[in-house]
Structure 1
Amino acid sequence: MIPKIIHYCWFGGNEKPDSVKQCIQSWKKYCPDYEIKEWNESNFDIHANDYCREAYATKRWAFVADYARLFVLYKYGGIYMDTDVEVIRSFDPLMNHNGFLCFENDKNVSIGTFGVTVQSPLVRDFLESYKNRHFKRADGTYDTTTNLKIITQVLVERYGIQLNGKEQVLLGDVLVLPMEAFIAKSYLTGWIMKDERTYAIHHYSATWRDMESQKRAEIQSGYVRKYMRMCEKPLARIAMYRTVFDLYGIKGFVSKVFHHIMH
């Protein structure tokens, strides 16, 4: 069973913004009997390995957390959550598995919300990817490869995950859920896509990016929303026709199209 502990990382000593405080409050609301544990410089050894030490030296806190989350989960078990994750219902139905996580998209998984048992073999395999790895490369540039690419590769090579975005149970009773379970938000548009499977919403603060990357992503998201609004009515009409076809077959579809043309 997965211990009822929620871990999160807050390195750098900065004041938590209201958005983070609100997310943590949601954890307390829906998981009132879970211990909540903050990891920071006072209780985590930032010199645990070269990658962690070098990321900390450059003040790239999100990359420090990439390693720290795995270290503490392996030792204590429980659930790790990014500080921009809002919980909307209890995780209790998932705690009997040996692990759980979700897809970020059809080709990658996310560990922004990640639950495991103590000394999970899965986490041990993830930790191996940090052996002999450096955040600061020999040429002075930084390795900002996101952990989802590394984690996904391990799951493909050792656990046989099918990269299809669908629910599946992997070797060792590790439950992989669709993105609606712990993300339920479009990275590009910001639209919430929660449904009956949703436990949490990941709001994507993306603190790991530099300022230029953040600005570029904001501009791109703005254009995506603009063009999606322009396409909203045609897409809604297509969805309506598909619904009619599914419910009433070809005759109902033809009737609907004819009615539309005549009016």
Structure 2
Amino acid sequence: MTLPVYLAADLAGAAPGARLDCGPEVAGHAVRVRRMRVGESLQLVDGRGLRITGTLVEAAPDALTLEVAAVAREPEPDPALILIQALAKQDRDLQAIEAATEVGVDGVVPWAAQRSIADWPAKKHAKMAQKWENTLRAATLQARRSRVPALEELRRGTSLVEAILPGDHVLVLHEEAEAHLPTGLAQAPRDARRIVLVVGPEGGIAPEEIAACTATGAVPVRLGDTVLRASSAGPVGLALCQTLLGRWADPPAAPDPNG
């Protein structure tokens, strides 16, 4: 059975056999909402790859104590998967990053593209960034991940290229591209640190933005013959990357000891 997962700020010093005390940020969900009781097991993650499994020995709505059974540090994916997601109307951008987190994205860059209808005006910037952060955290727990995708700063127009780092392999999802995503991904250098997917807004990516990306070595690709919404293009592209990178494949069969 898959155990429920909760995000805890400080898990330093946790070791098997130790006891961890958590406040209302964990107990409020585990005890008050989920109604977990003493003797039940759960997992705590710190959002940075640490996962702790344990059993409740004390449970109250505002505090709980967990006896640690196991501690694991999960490695960072290599290469990391990054989504540059254009702002979109009707919360389709939030739907995109929610599903992308469940698929396994490692970082998200909000992008106010030239043709984006939605925007983050200065007076609402902090509020909108927090809304994206909250979405990433909630989706992380829903997917029972140990790492919360990093939310990078908002980029505007052609400045999206400032989010591209040396060693990145960038794929720009574009309906008029000749190459399909598998072809573009196959061109990634073996030492690529990050695979970056760029998803435009409802009105498409402007020619200037395409040119800025390709000037950095980005490869325009398409997913297929149908046009996907801004809310689904990124998650579908990421799912293809996970499959093509072999992360969703069955593990190799164990050798037969009998030959």
Is the structural similarity TM-score above 0.5? no
- Report the TM-score, using the length of structure 2 for normalisation: 0.24
Q: Which has the higher helix share?
A: 1
